[in-house]
Structure 1
Amino acid sequence: MKMILKFLGGLALFGFGMNLMTENLKCAAGEGIKRVLTAMTKNPLAGVLAGTAASAVLQSSGVVTVMVIGFVSAGFMTLPQAVTVIMGANIGTTVTAQLIAFQINDYIWIVVFVGFLIYFIGEQKNTKLTGLVLLGCGILFVGIDTMKTAMGPLAASTIFVNMMRKVADIPVLGVLTGTLMTMIVQSSNATIAVLQSLALQPAKDGVSSIIGLSGAACVMMGDNIGTTFLSLLASVGQPVNARRAAVCHSFLNISGSILFLILLPWFTRFIIWISPKGPEVDVIARQIANAHTVFNLACTFLWLPFTKVMVKAVKIMVPDERE
C-alpha cells in the first residue's frame, strides 16, 4: 500500500509540475506561439517545424493540437496545414523523454530552489513566470524520481515480473496497455515517464530491464495512440474540419503504430544501434527516449509527402454534414 501511495504521489507531482510549467509557458509565450503557428504553415515543412517548436516549448502535444483545432474551427488554418503542425507537435513532445533520460537527479532540488527564488524575489511578470516554469520543471523531475523509487520493490515481485513478460512477449498487449494508460492520465509525457521509470528496474540477473526494449517500445506506441483521445474530445461539437483534424491525429499515430509493430525486431535493433552501449538497465531510459523520437520522426516524414492523401481519406471517414 505504501508503495502504491508513493507512486501515486510521484505521479501527482509529475502532473502538477508539468501543468505548472506548461501553463506559465503559455502565459509567457502563448501569443507568440499562436503567431508562429499561423505564419509558418504556408508550406508543409514549415508547418512541421512550427508544430515541433511549439510542442517543444509548451511540452505538450495535446495543448498544441487543441490550439490547432481551435485555429481550424476559426478558419485561420486549413486542414492540410493543421495536419503538418500536428505532425510537428508529435515530434516536439519527445523532448521531455530525452530530458528524463539524462537522469539529472543530483540537480533536481537546485532547479526547484532557483525557480522558487526567482519567483519570490522577481517583480516583473515575466520574471515570475520564468521562476514558475523552473519550479514546475523541478517538481516534474522530483515526481519522476519518486515514481522510480516507488517502483524499486516491484522487481522482486514474481507476479509483476510475469505480467511484464506478457507485455514484452505480446506486442499488441503492450500497445493496448500504453493506450489505456494515456487515455486515463491524459498525458503521453506522464506515461512515457512512468514507462522509463519502470524500465529502469532490473530483472533478476541485475543487468536486463524488467520489461525490455521490445516491450517498452510497444507501450510507447500505445502512449502515442492514447494521446490523440484529448484532441478527439476537443473536437466534439466543432465544425467538420476541426473534427477531421482530430481524426488525422489519430490516423497518423495508429497507422504508425501498425507499421512499427510489423517492423518491431528491426526497429529495436536500430534503436540499440543509435543508443549508448552498456547493460540494458543502464541505457534503457535513453533507448525509450530515442524510440519515442524516431517513431514520431518516421511517422511524420513517411506521411508528409502524402498529407493530401491522408486528408482525402479522413474526409471520407468524416463526411460533410449535408452528406
Structure 2
Amino acid sequence: MSIFDVLDLVCGLALFLFGINFMGETLKRSAGNRLKVFLENITASPIKGFFFGVAVTAAMQSSSATTVMVVGFVNSGAMTLSQAISVIMGANVGTTVTSWLTGLSGLGTVGEETVSFLRWLKPSSFVPIVALIGIILYMFGKSSARKNIGSILLGFSILMVGMELMSAAVSPLAESESFKATLLWFEDPILGVFVGALMTAILQSSSAAVGILQSLTVTGAINFENAIPILLGQNIGTCITTIIASIGAGKNAKRAAFVHLYFNIIGVTVFMSLFYLINNIVGLPFASDSIDVWGIAIVHTVFNILSVLLIAPFARQLEKLVCITVRDNKKSGSI
C-alpha cells in the first residue's frame, strides 16, 4: 500500500464513522421524546422489548447507542433490569443490519463479468441519487421532518462512500505477500478475538470495525478461520462503551452494562467452541475458503441470533449473575 492508499483508508474510515453517527444522531433527534415514551412503556413483554431493541439499533446503526440509552433508563428507574435484558439482546441482532448494508458494495460482480440488475444495487450506482435527494430535502425542505429525512439519506450516502473508499484503498493488499503472512498470526483464535475486541474498543463502534473487516475481504486473503475470531471479538469490544457509560451510575445500571458484556462473552465462547470442535472432528468444507462481505454479514447475523436463542431461556440466570457481579450494599440494601 502506498501513502495515498493509507490516506484513502483513513479518509474512508472517517466518512464511514461520520455517516453512522450522523444517521444515528438525526434519528435520535427526530424521535426525541416519542422514543423515550415508547421505551418506558415496555413493561412485561420480553418479545416486544427484543424487537424494539432490533428496530432502534437497526435505525440508529449503533448497538452502543441503544445499550447506553438502556443503561440510562435503568439508572433513572424507568426500566427494570429484566426489561433491559430483552432490549439489549435485540440490540445485538439489530447491529447486524449495517453489515448487510455495507455488503452492497460487493454486489454486481461475478468473476470479470458484471451482473446488470445487481449492479444497480452497488453503492457507486445508487448513492449519488440518494445523496442528491438528501441534499434537496435538507436544503429546500420546509418542515423539520423533511430535513431530518434528508439528513438520514445524506448520512447513509456518506457511510457507503466511506465503505467504497476503504475497499478500494486495501485492494492492493491482495498482491502483498507480507499482508498474507500477517494474516497467519490470526490462525490463533484467542489472538483474533483480542484483536477484534481492541479494534472495536478503539473505534467505539462495532459497525465500523466490522466494516473494516468487510473491506479487507476484497483482498481474497482472509478466510473463515481468520475472520470468525476477529468478528466475534468485535462483538465483545462494543461492550466497552456501555461499561464506560455505567461508571458513576446506580447498581442496576451497572448490571445492565454487564448483561451486555456477559451476553457477548458467553455467545463468543459457545460459538467458537462449536465452530472449532466441529471443524476439527469432521472438517467444515468452507473453513479455509476465502470470505467475502456477505460471508461476514452472514456470520455476524448467525452468531447474534444463535446467541439470543441460547441465552434468552436463561435470562433469569443471567440477571442473577450480574446481581452477583454487582452486589447490593449490605448496609442499606439500596440500588
TM-score (norm 1): 0.91
39-48 vs 1-10, which moves further: 39-48
- For residue 163 of structure 1, the aligned residue among 166, 173, 182 is 182
Task: Indicate yes or no: 2:221 matched with 1:221.
Answer: no
Give the aligned partner of residue 153 of structure 1: 172
Amino acid at match of 1:288: I
Partner of 1:14: 16
In the alignment, the residues of structure 2 paired with residue 15 and residue 291 of structure 1 have an alpha-carbon distance, to the nearest angstrom, of 22
Tell me the residue number matched to 2:146: 127
Larger-gyration structure (1/2): 2
User: Where does residue 30 of structure 1 map in the other structure?
Assistant: 32
Map of 1:292 onto structure 2: 300
Confirm or deny: 8 A CA contact 1:165 1:211 kept in the other structure. Answer: no
Aligned residue number for residue 115 of structure 2: none
Structure 1 partner of 2:253: 242
| Separation of aligned partners in 2, 1:147 and 1:15 | 12
1:179 correspondence with 2:179? no
Q: Which amino acid aligns with 1:261?
A: M
Structure 1: tracts of 5 or more residues without a match: 203-209, 274-279
Q: 1:271 to 1:42 in 2, by over 3 A?
A: farther
Aligned match of 1:276:
none
CA distance in 2, matches of 1:96, 1:58: 10
Query: Conserved in 2, the CA contact under 8 Å of 1:180 and 1:226?
Result: yes
Question: In structure 2, what is the equivalent of residue 206 of structure 1?
Answer: none
Preserved CA contact (<8 Å) 1:119 1:127: yes
Alpha-carbon RMSD across the aligned residues, in angstroms, is 2.1
Asked if 1:54 corresponds to 2:72, the answer is no
Aligned partner letter, 2:197: T
Aligned equivalent of 1:207:
none
Q: Does 1:311 align with 2:319?
A: yes
Q: For the residues of structure 1 that align with 2:273 and 2:176, how far apart are their CA atoms? A: 31
How much has 1:317 moved relative to structure 2? 1.1
- In 2, Cα distance between equivalents of 1:36 and 1:217: 36
In 2 relative to 1, CA 20–307 (structure 1 residues): closer, same or farther, beyond 3 Å? same
Number of equivalenced pairs? 309
Q: What's the secondary structure of 1:263's corresponding residue?
A: helix
Distance 1:56 1:244 in 2: 24
1:121-166 residue CA offsets vs partner (Å, 9 max, x unmatched):
1111110010010000000000000000110112222221111122
What does residue 41 of structure 2 align with?
A: 39
Q: Which residue of 1 aligns with 2:270?
A: 259
Partner-residue secondary structure (3-state), 2:292 = helix
Mapped to 1, the partners of 2:78 and 2:50 lie a distance apart of 17
Q: Which amino acid aligns with 1:110?
A: I
Instruction: Give a deviation string over 1:243-279, Cα, whole Å, max 9, x none.
Output: 0100110000011111111112459x99969xxxxxx
Give the residue type in structure 1 aligned to 2:214. Q
The Cα offsets for residues 14-65 of structure 1, whole Å up to 9 and x where unpaired, read as 0111111111011112333323322234222221111111111111111110
Quote the residue 2:114 is aligned against. none
Give the direction of change, closer, same or farther, for the CA distance of 1:182–1:311 in structure 2 (3 Å limit). same
Kindly report which structure 2 residues correspond to 1:273-292, keeping only aligned pairs within 5 A, or say none. Answer: 284-292=292-300
1:91·1:293 contact (CA, 8 Å) conserved in 2? yes
Aligned residue for 1:80?
82
Letter of the aligned partner of 1:67 in structure 2? M
Match of 1:68 in 2: 70
On the 8 A contact 2:170/2:218 being kept in 1, the answer is no
Superposition misfits of 4+ residues, deviation over 4 angstroms: 269-273
d(CA) in 2 for partners of 1:75, 1:66: 14
Q: Please say if residues 11 and 143 of structure 1, whose CA atoms lie closer than 8 Å, have aligned partners that are also in contact.
A: yes
- The AA in structure 1 aligned to 2:144 is K
Normalised TM-score (structure 2): 0.87
Q: Distance in 1 between matches of 2:185 and 2:128?
A: 37
Q: Give me the whole-angstrom Cα distance separating, in 2, the residues matched to 1:191 and 1:85.
A: 22
